[in-house]
């Protein structure tokens, strides 16, 4: 009997141990799954936080894949969507005081700006400012929606870090742009990082529109949201648009634009509308000119800018010229028409900045645009006469960390060259002549 009881206890104990072991195994698997999930979530969260930094190296690989394998326009649209979803990195650094400048009584805390053409419908200026830009230009905005030119209309020249576009002002129209600007301004004004930064709005014309009435329409509808209005008379992709850079049409357009801004100011004074911009004053008026102008045409622009007291010139837009160094790569992509931007444009743009500064005796502020991709490039433009600089194509090749890196490097360069502020560097190349 004792043997039977002992055997029963042994069997019962063995079964009990097996149950315990199974339960331990089950709990162990659950714990491993929980631990793995927490680890994965932690790694994912860490990756997201890491990618919120503009200097995150993961962007280099992502951009390489996108540039290598994905259609340029699709990549561009994906980029804007990413910004809309709040997935762009954020630069939390403070702008170095050496970069502070005053342009027509408007403070620019750093001179690195985003050029027009990236955010055509004013969808993400707030997100762009958070990359570290001192100012952002959106547009070009048009009175009515239009699809632009047929696709393909956007091309990369990888070896030359250049782009060719023939978009033709594809646009959702000014009414959609106004709604986007309303949302962006609300976000911007609540954000200590961006509340003092500037947003300019580029204005163009519909393909079949009249430039005078189109500019008046856009200023009336969206002008109150702009810290400056940039009238685009230099895109090579809209038929006859560049004709408005000639003397008589340009005078008429400048006068009409100023009248429209004065009318906007009167409406604000009467309480009809309010300025929903950073400066809370009438927007500055700038004109964006071509790099392909003759010396005589540039002299006319300089004279008009001085006589009519333009607040500034953006020098320059894209070029229809094709430098020798890009010819081979150009043939590989089928010699597309359109405006060339990026590194091959730099010397042409810098020459235009230098000449325009000289022609205006430094009395008309210049924003340099074209071929700028490093702090050295920016300083060259500033010494040639620019008060600020804009980039676009360089972002495609160098990623979202570029504006943050450029402003830091530019501050270091200024100090190394003995400049106490950016103001001392503006036009310095003319002193050396």
Catalytic residues: 235
Q: Are 379 and 419 in contact (CB under 8 A)?
A: no
- Residue 325 has φ and ψ, to the nearest 5°, of -65, -15
Per-residue tokens: 68: 């290598």
Cα–Cα distance for residue pair 294/114, rounded to 1 Å: 27
Kindly give, in sequence order, each residue whose CB lies less than 8 Å from that of residue 21, ignoring residues fewer than 6 positions away: none
Cα–Cα distance for residue pair 207/198, rounded to 1 Å: 29
Q: Are 379 and 414 in contact (CB under 8 A)?
A: yes
Q: Which single residue is written with the structure tokens 């049409």?
A: 249
Q: Are 149 and 237 in contact (CB under 8 A)?
A: yes
Per-residue DSSP letter, 205: -
* Angle, alpha carbons 90-179-108 (nearest 5°): 45
Closest alpha carbon to 304 in 285, 319, 318: 285
136 bridge partner residues: 114, 199
Cα–Cα distance for residue pair 315/332, rounded to 1 Å: 30
Cis amide linkage into residue 152, ω under 30° from 0: yes
Strands 112-114 and 106-108: unpaired
Distance of CA 172 to the CA centre of its chain: 18
Closest alpha carbon to 174 in 143, 215, 220, 210: 143
Cα–Cα distance for residue pair 142/219, rounded to 1 Å: 10
């Amino acid at each position: 009997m004792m043997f039977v009881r002992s055997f029963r206890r042994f069997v019962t104990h063995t079964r009990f141990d097996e149950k315990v072991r199974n339960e331990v195994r089950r709990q162990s698997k659950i714990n491993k799954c929980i631990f793995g999930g927490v680890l994965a979530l932690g790694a994912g969260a860490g990756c997201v936080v890491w990618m919120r930094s503009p200097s995150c190296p993961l962007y280099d690989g992502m951009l390489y894949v996108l540039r290598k394998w994905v259609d340029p326009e699709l990549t561009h649209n994906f980029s804007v969507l990413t910004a809309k979803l709040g997935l762009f990195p954020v630069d939390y650094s403070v702008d170095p005081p050496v970069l502070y400048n005053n342009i027509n009584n408007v403070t620019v805390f750093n001179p690195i700006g985003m050029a027009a053409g990236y955010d055509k419908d004013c969808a993400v200026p707030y997100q762009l400012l958070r990359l570290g830009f001192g100012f952002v230009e959106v547009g070009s905005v048009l009175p009515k929606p239009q699809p632009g030119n047929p696709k393909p209309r956007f091309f990369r020249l990888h070896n030359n870090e250049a782009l060719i576009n023939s978009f033709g002002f594809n646009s959702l129209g000014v009414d959609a742009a106004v709604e986007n600007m309303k949302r962006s301004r609300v976000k911007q004004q609540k954000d200590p990082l961006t509340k003092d930064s500037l947003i300019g709005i580029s204005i163009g014309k519909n393909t079949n529109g009249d430039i005078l009435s189109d500019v008046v329409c856009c200023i009336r509808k969206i002008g109150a949201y702009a810290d400056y209005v940039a009238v685009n008379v230099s895109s090579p992709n809209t038929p006859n648009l560049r004709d408005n850079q000639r003397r008589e049409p340009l005078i008429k357009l400048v006068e009409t634009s100023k009248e429209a801004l004065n009318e906007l100011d009167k409406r604000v004074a009467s309480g009809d509308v309010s300025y929903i911009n950073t400066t809370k004053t009438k927007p500055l008026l700038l004109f964006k000119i071509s790099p392909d102008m003759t010396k005589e045409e540039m002299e006319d622009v300089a004279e008009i800018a001085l006589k009519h007291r333009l607040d500034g010139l953006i020098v320059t837009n894209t070029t229809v010229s094709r430098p020798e160094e890009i010819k081979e790569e150009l043939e590989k992509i089928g010699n597309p028409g359109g405006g060339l931007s990026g590194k091959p444009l730099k010397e042409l743009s810098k020459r235009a900045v230098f000449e325009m500064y000289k022609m205006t005796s430094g009395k008309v502020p210049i924003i340099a645009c074209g071929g700028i991709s490093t702090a050295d490039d920016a300083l060259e433009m500033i010494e040639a006469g620019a008060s600020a600089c804009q980039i676009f194509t360089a972002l495609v090749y160098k990623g979202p960390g570029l504006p943050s890196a450029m402003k830091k490097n530019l501050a270091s360069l200024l100090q190394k060259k003995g400049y106490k502020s950016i103001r001392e560097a503006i036009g310095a190349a003319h002193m050396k002549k």
